[in-house]
Amino acid sequence: MSLAWEVAVPARAELAEHPVWDTDREGLIWVDINAGKVHLFREDAGDRVLADVGVAVGAAIPRRAGGYALAAADGFRLTDAGGSPASGPLRPPGMPEDVRFNDGACDPAGRLWAGTVALDRRAGGGSLYRLDADGRVALVFDGVTESNGLGWSPGGTTFYYIDSGEPEPRLRAFAHDPATGALSGERDLVRFGPGDGIPDGLAVDTGGCLWIAMWGGSCVRRYSAAGEPLGIFPVPVSQPTCPGFGGRDLDQLYLTTAWEGMDAGQLAAEPLAGHLLRARPGVSGQPAARYAG
């Protein structure tokens, strides 16, 4: 199966992540993790740096109050609509100094979930946290190596999660209580093989199907809510990082990519590595939930 990928932004970002559609601005928010920059892409105005955070930033999520909630290296941060700091950083108690936040997303109730990874990527060095609307931080679970893809089923009753650092990569699913954020009933939904690449970021469409970027696998994979494989979609780079639906009708699939760790020969062979790509998959995504704080 194939999709017609085009370059939306020739960013050449070292490690781009988490594209999320901001309906208020009719634009796509995405981050360049290692550069510590939050970008805003609009069809009518192109791409620009919305905020230069000064530290690595794993995700930027629109807020209901305006502005953005950031999962930054040194903790959770809030900005105003222009990207200027509003509060933070709020660092979870006990979070080691050599650990930074990675990918993050909001549940339908507006709680921000984000996990961490140790700078040396040591096994079990990270954790998954939840930032509630009142600013309180809760530890969801620890023992994470490289926290990545997060998403919820339509209705929010199932939470999906990827730890990209596990020796046997998998996609986990949990029962999720939309009222409290509590998780239960952990199960393996998909297990990946040695030649598949490493599961990274994910997105959930309106039909409840999951789209997963496969780092090192040069593709995006689609699965049903029951974990059944529905399609493998090649991409013109080896390190796709995260898909996300955008456009006014949320019918465009954006894909961040990376050139992190590549040598000169690999970079020359992959001229689109680090660019923001886009395709039309024939389905639409769910509107991104906003942080309630």
Which one, of 174, 109, 176, 118, lies nearest residue 142 by Cα? 118
Does residue 293 lie in a domain region?
no
C-beta neighbour count of 66 within 10 angstroms = 13
Does residue 285 lie in a domain region?
no
What pLDDT sits at residue 1? 76
What pLDDT sits at residue 116? 97
**CATH at 98:** 2.120.10.30
Number of domains making up the chain: 1
What pLDDT sits at residue 97? 92
Does residue 247 lie in a domain region?
yes
Which one, of 176, 185, 218, lies nearest residue 200 by Cα? 218
| Contact call for residues 22 and 42 (beta carbons, < 8 A) | no
pLDDT per residue, tens digit, the chain (293 aa), is 799 999 999 999 999 999 999 999 999 999 999 999 999 999 999 999 999 999 999 999 999 999 999 999 999 999 999 999 899 899 999 999 999 999 999 999 999 999 999 999 999 999 999 999 999 999 999 999 999 999 999 999 999 999 999 999 999 999 999 999 999 999 999 999 999 999 999 999 999 999 999 999 999 999 999 999 999 999 999 999 999 999 999 999 999 999 999 999 999 999 999 999 999 999 999 999 999 99
What pLDDT sits at residue 71? 97
Does residue 291 lie in a domain region?
no
Radius of gyration of the chain (CA): 17
| Contact call for residues 117 and 102 (beta carbons, < 8 A) | yes
**Run of H or E including 268:** helix 264-269
Q: How far apart are CA 228 and CA 284, in angstroms?
A: 19
pTM: 0.97
What pLDDT sits at residue 121? 95
Does residue 160 lie in a domain region?
yes
**Run of H or E including 266:** helix 264-269
Sheet strands side by side (includes 46-52) = 16-22, 27-32, 37-42, 46-52
What pLDDT sits at residue 88? 85
Does residue 288 lie in a domain region?
no
Does residue 284 lie in a domain region?
no
Q: How far apart are CA 65 and CA 78, in angstroms?
A: 10
Phi and psi at residue 267, to the nearest 5°:
-60, -40
What is the residue range of 210's domain?
6-279
Does residue 286 lie in a domain region?
no
**Cis previous bond, 89, omega within 30:** yes
Give me the count of residues in the chain: 293
